Amino acid sequence: MPKNQRKDRLIKEYIHDPYFTKEKYNDPSVCEKCGVVFHDGIFQWMKEVPSGATKMVCPACRRIEDKYEGGIVYLEGEFLQNHKDEILNLIKNVEEDETAYRPLERIIEIKEEDGKLVITTTYEHLARKIGEAVHKAYKGELNIQYPEGWKYIRVSWKRD
């Protein structure tokens, strides 16, 4: 890098997300699958959909339909096996809290694979929140990785 070039002037490369269109959604718009409303530039839950709202399918519902996750959480260990119901309840509570604030943050799937719980989420925030909540409640080892150049997260937690 040349001596006089400022680092803060470097332009960050755009991280492509095929589930967000470059153009704005019509305002208001409502997802015909989940009912989330795009209004005033954001997705939000509303008790009443504004009249004249355009129907569409939101990015979260499209990701769920395509099983295209933005985050993945691996939980494992003997402690998990002995406290699975409690941990699953915690995960559901974290999802409810996060989805109330960020409507596009949702769990795509929870499955068991080789004694591990594998949770896929629509975006990275919910995956991180789940990992942090499990770690805060039950201690253990938490590892969070953001692969460079990707809008994606891998979270792993283990306690024996």
User: Which tens digit of pLDDT belongs to each residue from 44-102?
Assistant: 999 999 999 999 999 999 999 999 999 999 999 999 999 999 999 999 999 999 999 99
18 versus 77: the higher-pLDDT residue is 77
* pLDDT at res. 16: 56
The pTM for the full model equals: 0.84
Q: For residue 106, with 0-12 CB atoms within 10 Å meaning exposed, 13-18 middle and 19 or more buried, which class applies?
A: buried
User: Which tens digit of pLDDT belongs to each residue from 90-137?
Assistant: 999 999 999 999 999 999 999 999 999 999 999 999 999 999 999 999
Largest CA distance in the chain: 59
Long-range CB contacts for residues 17-22, cutoff 8 Å, separation at least 24: 17/59, 17/151, 19/59, 19/62, 19/63, 19/68, 20/59
Domain spans in the chain, listed from the N-terminal domain onward: 18-64, 69-158
